Amino acid sequence: MTGPAPVGTLDRPRAARLFGRTDGEKRHGTGGLSGEADLTGGLLLALLAGLLGLVVGSFLNVVIHRVPRRESVVWPGSRCPECGTAIPARDNVPLLSYLLLRGRCRSCGASIPARYPLVEALTGALFLLVALRFGAELALLPALVLVASLVALAVTDLEHRLLPNAIVGPAALAGLALSTLARPEWWWVYPLSGLAAGAALFLISALRPGGMGMGDVKLAAMLGCFLGPYAFLAVFLGALLGTATSAGLMATGRADRRTKLPFGTFMAAGAVLVLFLGPALWSAYLGLF
């Protein structure tokens, strides 16, 4: 494969390379097992990734709750947000404990927010789908880290209207390292894309004050560290999703023009779409111009 092309000249085969093996390589078994063994191995990997996602989702709930409050995510251990009682290991099993306890704290009986099992289930489902999408290749690592980071940031922005540097910064550094490890021939594309995406949103925010915050600018830069030039597509899709949601809320009387929506949440959704459908979406995006 030749060196990476400029953003405007990325065709679908090259685009697919940025996201893993091409469809042709997957059909012919290039770079992996073949036949039934390949299918069985892929399903087993996806199942294990899904279980890992449930555990990661449980930790992300801690991140979402504590980081905006500037609390440690390591110590103390998990506690009931109402009574402060330490949660024993038997009550800290992702999804299962919530169902067995019927969504209540064993100690005080307070209701546990539905966000906790939803984040666990969402992270588990995304990890499973990402494993099915990428298989046993290095590109799986940055994809999983990206998905976990996006879940944490999307929910935090939704609840607190905040995209914490404590999440965005480490995620961006991990994205640069893991993406370069997975695609060393694109080593210069990721940092350049991060700078370009961040600069573009900074310029937009400067020209239209109040439309977005610096957290959105930093998130765009982070996406560039993972997705390369596709970060621009993720931001574009996020804007479309945000506009459609705003229009729907105003049409139903649940919002007006002064209502501010968490743009970071929509950018995260756009990034997930790009992660799974990048080449096809890129072709469609270029077809608009």
Asked if 182 and 104 sit in the same domain, the reply is no
Assigned domain for 81 exists? yes
Note the pLDDT of residue 27.
Answer: 45
Asked if 177 and 49 sit in the same domain, the reply is no
Note the pLDDT of residue 30.
Answer: 44
Q: How many CB atoms lie within 10 A of CB 98?
A: 20
Assigned domain for 11 exists? no
Q: Which domain holds residue 221?
A: 137-288
Asked if 224 and 142 sit in the same domain, the reply is yes
Asked if 143 and 268 sit in the same domain, the reply is yes
Give pTM, 2 decimals.
0.86
Note the pLDDT of residue 123.
Answer: 98
What does pLDDT average to in each consecutive run of 10 residues of the chain (289 residues)?
A: 38 52 48 61 93 97 94 87 84 91 88 94 98 93 98 97 96 96 92 95 86 91 96 94 92 82 95 91 73
Asked if 141 and 260 sit in the same domain, the reply is yes
Note the pLDDT of residue 31.
Answer: 46
Asked if 78 and 97 sit in the same domain, the reply is yes
Assigned domain for 189 exists? yes
Note the pLDDT of residue 229.
Answer: 92
Domain count, the chain: 2
Asked if 146 and 125 sit in the same domain, the reply is no
